[in-house]
Structure 1
Amino acid sequence: MEALDLARWQFGITTVYHFIFVPLTIGLSLLVAIMQTIAVRAKDPVKADSWTRITKFFGSMLIVNFGIGIATGIVQEFQFGLNWSEYSRFMGDIFGAPLALEGLAAFFMESTFLGLWIFGWNRLPKGLHLLTIWMVALGTTLSAYFIIAANSFMQHPVAAVFNPETGRAELDPSQGGIFALLTNVTTLAAFPHVIAGAWLVAGCFVTGIAAWHMVKNHKRAEDQALTSEDQAAAAHLAKNVWRPATRFGVLVMVLSAVGLFASGDFQGKLMFEQQPMKMASAEALCHTETGANFSILSVAGPRAFSQDCADISHIIEVPYVTSILATNDPNATLKGVTELNAEYKEKYGATAVDASGKTVEVDYRPNLFVTYWSFRLMIGFAIFCGILAVWAFWITRGKGKNARTSGSTWFARFAILAIPMPFLANAFGWIFTEMGRQPWIVAPSPDGDPLVRLLTMQGVSGHEGWQVIVSLVVFTLLYGVLAVVWYYLMHKQAVKDIKAPRSHLAKESAAPAELDTPTISFGY
Structure 2
Amino acid sequence: MPSVEILSRIQFAFTVAFHYIYPPLSIGLGLCLVIMEGIYLKTGLLVYRDITRFWIKIFALIFGIGVATGIVMEFEFGTNWATYSHYVGDIFGSALAAEGIFAFALESGFLGILLFGWNRVSKGVHFFSTIMVALGSIFSALWIVIANSWQQTPAGFKIEGHDLGARAVVTDFWEMVFNPSSVDRFSHVIIGAFLAGSFLVMSVGAWYILKGRYLKHAQAMFKVGLSVAVVAALMQLFTGHRSADYVSKYQPAKLAAMEGHYDSLAVADMYIVGWVDNKKEQTTGIKIPGGLSFLTHGSFSAPVQGLRATPPADRPGAVNFVFQTYHAMVAIGITLIGLTLLALILLWKKQLFNHRWLMWIFVLAVLLPQMANQLGWYAAEVGRQPWVVYGLLRTSDALSKKVTADQVLFSLILFTFVYVLLFALFLFLLNRKISHGPDVTEEEETDSEHFSKRNIANIPS
TM-score by length of structure 2 reads 0.91
C-alpha contact (below 8 Å) 2:32/2:224 kept by paired residues:
no
- The one-letter code of the counterpart of 1:425 is A
Which residue is equivalent to 1:427? 374
SS in 2 for 1:503: helix
Tell me whether 1:14 sits opposite 2:19 in the alignment: no
Deviations 1:78-131 (A, max 9, x none): 211111000011121122210111122211110111012111111011101111
Tell me whether 1:244 sits opposite 2:220 in the alignment: yes
- When the two chains are superposed, the root-mean-square deviation of aligned CA atoms in Å is 2.0
Which residue is equivalent to 1:283? 259
Which residue is equivalent to 1:336? 306
SS in 1 for 2:181: helix
Deviations 1:54-89 (A, max 9, x none): 111221111110000001111112211111000011
Residues 387 and 261 of structure 1: CA distance in aligned 2, closer, same or farther (over 3 Å): closer
* Inter-partner Cα distance in structure 2 for 1:497 and 1:114: 21
* Inter-partner Cα distance in structure 1 for 2:265 and 2:175: 35
* Inter-partner Cα distance in structure 2 for 1:27 and 1:321: 33
Aligned residues: 444
Q: 2:173 aligns with which of 178, 187, 195?
A: 178
Tell me whether 1:200 sits opposite 2:195 in the alignment: yes
SS in 1 for 2:271: strand
Which residue is equivalent to 2:54? 57
Tell me whether 1:409 sits opposite 2:356 in the alignment: yes
- The one-letter code of the counterpart of 1:140 is S
SS in 1 for 2:301: coil
Q: 1:127 aligns with which of 104, 124, 127?
A: 124
* Inter-partner Cα distance in structure 1 for 2:333 and 2:288: 20
Report the CA distance between 1:163 and its aligned residue.
1.4
SS in 2 for 1:314: strand
Which residue is equivalent to 1:439? 386
Which residue is equivalent to 2:85? 88
Name structure 2 gaps, 5 residues minimum.
Answer: 448-461
Report the CA distance between 1:458 and its aligned residue.
0.3
Tell me whether 1:392 sits opposite 2:343 in the alignment: yes
Tell me whether 1:266 sits opposite 2:242 in the alignment: yes
* Inter-partner Cα distance in structure 1 for 2:170 and 2:407: 37
* Inter-partner Cα distance in structure 1 for 2:275 and 2:303: 24
C-alpha contact (below 8 Å) 1:281/1:337 kept by paired residues:
yes
Identity of aligned pairs, percent?
Answer: 31
Q: Tell me which moved more, 113-122 or 157-166.
A: 157-166
Which residue is equivalent to 2:38? 37
Which residue is equivalent to 1:228? none
Residues 280 and 123 of structure 1: CA distance in aligned 2, closer, same or farther (over 3 Å): same
Query: Could you list the runs of 4 or more consecutive aligned residues of structure 1 that deviate by over 6 angstroms after TM superposition?
Result: none
Task: Summarize the alignment of residues 141-220 of structure 1 with structure 2, pairs less than 5 Å apart.
Answer: 141-164=138-161, 167-173=165-171, 177-217=172-212
C-alpha contact (below 8 Å) 2:233/2:336 kept by paired residues:
no
C-alpha contact (below 8 Å) 2:207/2:363 kept by paired residues:
yes
* Inter-partner Cα distance in structure 1 for 2:248 and 2:166: 28
C-alpha contact (below 8 Å) 2:34/2:131 kept by paired residues:
yes
C-alpha contact (below 8 Å) 1:215/1:405 kept by paired residues:
no
Report the CA distance between 1:392 and its aligned residue.
2.9
SS in 2 for 1:441: strand
Deviations 1:420-448 (A, max 9, x none): 1110110000011100000000002xxxx
Which residue is equivalent to 2:97? 100
C-alpha contact (below 8 Å) 2:269/2:287 kept by paired residues:
yes
Task: Summarize the alignment of residues 285-300 of structure 1 with structure 2, pairs less than 5 Å apart.
Answer: 285-300=261-276
SS in 1 for 2:167: strand
Residues 504 and 120 of structure 1: CA distance in aligned 2, closer, same or farther (over 3 Å): closer
* Inter-partner Cα distance in structure 1 for 2:289 and 2:236: 23
C-alpha contact (below 8 Å) 1:215/1:407 kept by paired residues:
no
Report the CA distance between 1:500 and its aligned residue.
5.3
Which residue is equivalent to 1:353? none
Larger Rg: 1
Tell me whether 1:376 sits opposite 2:346 in the alignment: no
Deviations 1:456-514 (A, max 9, x none): 0000112111011111111111001101011111122223333654334999xxxxxxx
* Inter-partner Cα distance in structure 2 for 1:505 and 1:55: 17
* Inter-partner Cα distance in structure 2 for 1:405 and 1:12: 39
* Inter-partner Cα distance in structure 1 for 2:128 and 2:425: 31
SS in 2 for 1:285: coil
Q: 2:393 aligns with which of 447, 450, 454?
A: 454
Query: Structure 1 or 2: larger helix share?
Result: 2
* Inter-partner Cα distance in structure 2 for 1:4 and 1:318: 38
C-alpha contact (below 8 Å) 2:273/2:285 kept by paired residues:
yes
- The one-letter code of the counterpart of 2:287 is E
Q: Tell me which moved more, 80-89 or 243-252.
A: 243-252
Report the CA distance between 1:244 and its aligned residue.
2.6
* Inter-partner Cα distance in structure 1 for 2:357 and 2:211: 12
C-alpha contact (below 8 Å) 2:153/2:250 kept by paired residues:
yes
Deviations 1:162-213 (A, max 9, x none): 113694333353xxx1111111121111111111111111111111211221
TM-score by length of structure 1 reads 0.81
* Inter-partner Cα distance in structure 2 for 1:104 and 1:395: 44
* Inter-partner Cα distance in structure 1 for 2:395 and 2:378: 15
- The one-letter code of the counterpart of 1:365 is P
* Inter-partner Cα distance in structure 2 for 1:112 and 1:477: 31
- The one-letter code of the counterpart of 1:29 is G
Which residue is equivalent to 1:350? none
Report the CA distance between 1:329 and its aligned residue.
2.5
SS in 1 for 2:437: coil
C-alpha contact (below 8 Å) 1:171/1:178 kept by paired residues:
no
Deviations 1:388-420 (A, max 9, x none): 32343344335xxxx556354322321111011
* Inter-partner Cα distance in structure 2 for 1:104 and 1:419: 32
C-alpha contact (below 8 Å) 2:152/2:390 kept by paired residues:
yes
